[in-house]
Structure 1
Amino acid sequence: MEDIFVGRLMSSPVETVAPDTAAHVAAETMIDEGIGSVVVTDDDGRLLGILTATDFVQIAAEQRWATDATVETYMSTDVTTTTVNAEVRDVADLMIEEGFHHVPVVDEEEGVVGIITTTDITAYMSTVQTPSPA
């Protein structure tokens, strides 16, 4: 995975929602699109947070669901990001260390330009080398 950069593997465009989007609408979007997260942005495409399937599991486990809740109620705002020029190995190491499955890809000028996920990395790896037996 040397010299493979995030921009080559990231999913783009990324599904985004506004912070005032109803949480159930974000959940429906994730189900309809077959994705594990939505990125929360402002009108200029700047990252405000992320809402993941893991967040919804936590919400359900804590029984704190509110029918009128917005994305802003549940989103994570302390979001680790990367850039298109970051090495995939570094991002993969970060994802393993922190237990992340989604890392938004941002650009200073354009805001959120994509997202790199464990699925993106796994899909790439499956075409690069044949898995070895355990």
Structure 2
Amino acid sequence: MDDIFVGRLMSSDLHTVSPDTLVEEAANVMLEEGIGSVMVVDGNNDLQGILTTTDFVGIVAASSPKAETTVAKYMSTDVITTTVQDPITEVAETMLEHGFHHMPVVSDTDGVIGIITTADLTSYLSHVQTPSPS
């Protein structure tokens, strides 16, 4: 894996906004494009920052006046799950196919028992050694 460079794996289909873009507009871009972040650039396309879905958690928490809306209005209900016996390659393929970063791990007897994330998969891959030829 030492010879696989960022240029080979990176996505170059970027969505950008300017620093004066309203957060509502940035959120709409992210929702419409099915992406988790937008790059914030100036008029010369120089990077000024990044706005992510995680940033929106802070935006909502700090908003005033507070919205009195339950999570039931916004939560995803068509949740795709995995089990402890499923291969990570299948999990990764499913996550890529559907464009999400979190997959609940369930058990028939105990219900929800965990979660696997793209960060978990990335951490695993960062420690994998390239197998020797047999």
Normalised TM-score (structure 2): 0.47
Greater RCO between the two (CA within 8 Å, min separation 6)? 1
Structure possessing the higher radius of gyration over alpha carbons: 2
TM-score (normalizing by structure 1) = 0.47
